[in-house]
Amino acid sequence: MAIDTKAVEEHIRGLLIALGENPDREGLKETPKRVAKMYEEVLEGMNYTNHEIAQMFSKTFEQEEQSQGKDIVLVKDISIFSYCEHHLALMYDMTASIAYIPKGRVIGLSKIARIADMVSKRLQLQERIGSDIAEVLMEAVGCEDVAVIIKGCHSCMSARGIKKSEASTVSTTFRGRFETEEGLKNRLYMMLAQ
């Protein structure tokens, strides 16, 4: 589903009027068009299902047999951002650390970052970003053992309401052996601390 930029422009113009602004004044003339273009870019992930994202980034490579099911692949501190679906507020200074245990196939490391980026470009909740990344990676790589740890700040909490600018939120998503094996989870936490 493509974003209807013309409708966004019309609604932003109406929003400016509702806020008591003059959308025809010099500084605001192009604002509806700019906002529509921005939303098209920063919400690009809304155009795709998790399955379609998995298909986009499903190029994998055969794994060496002796390491199958034992090695943890971890890409940490991937910068992402998103927009909270409750307030349309920016979730910022977010990092995602994503791990998986290959099961015969490995994925290019940049694909992991691309999956995180595309999934976050939606109206989201931080918890769902983790679940969506896990779901996409599981399908793309064909494994069940995935962990996603996300840390981020939320402007709906830092810039409005309670205004706690130092607060950050950490969410974890564990699937497969990361969910059931404490030793494996502890190994992952040691890797994250390095």
Candidate list 10, 55, 86, 127, residue with the active-site label: 86
Is 51 one of the catalytic residues?
A: no
Candidate list 21, 44, 63, 87, residue with the active-site label: 87
Is 84 one of the catalytic residues?
A: yes
Candidate list 30, 64, 85, 127, residue with the active-site label: 85
Is 55 one of the catalytic residues?
A: no
Candidate list 139, 156, 179, 181, residue with the active-site label: 156
Euclidean distance between CA atoms 188 and 172, whole angstroms: 12
CA angle 153, 117, 34 (to 5 degrees): 80
Is 153 one of the catalytic residues?
A: no
Using alpha carbons, select from 146, 136, 138, 139 the residue that is nearest to residue 188: 146
Candidate list 126, 135, 143, 153, residue with the active-site label: 126
CB atoms within 10 A of CB 133: 28
Candidate list 84, 139, 179, 181, residue with the active-site label: 84
Helix (H, G, I), strand (E, B) or coil at 116: helix
Is 11 one of the catalytic residues?
A: no
Instruction: Enumerate the active-site residues.
Output: 84-87, 126, 154, 156
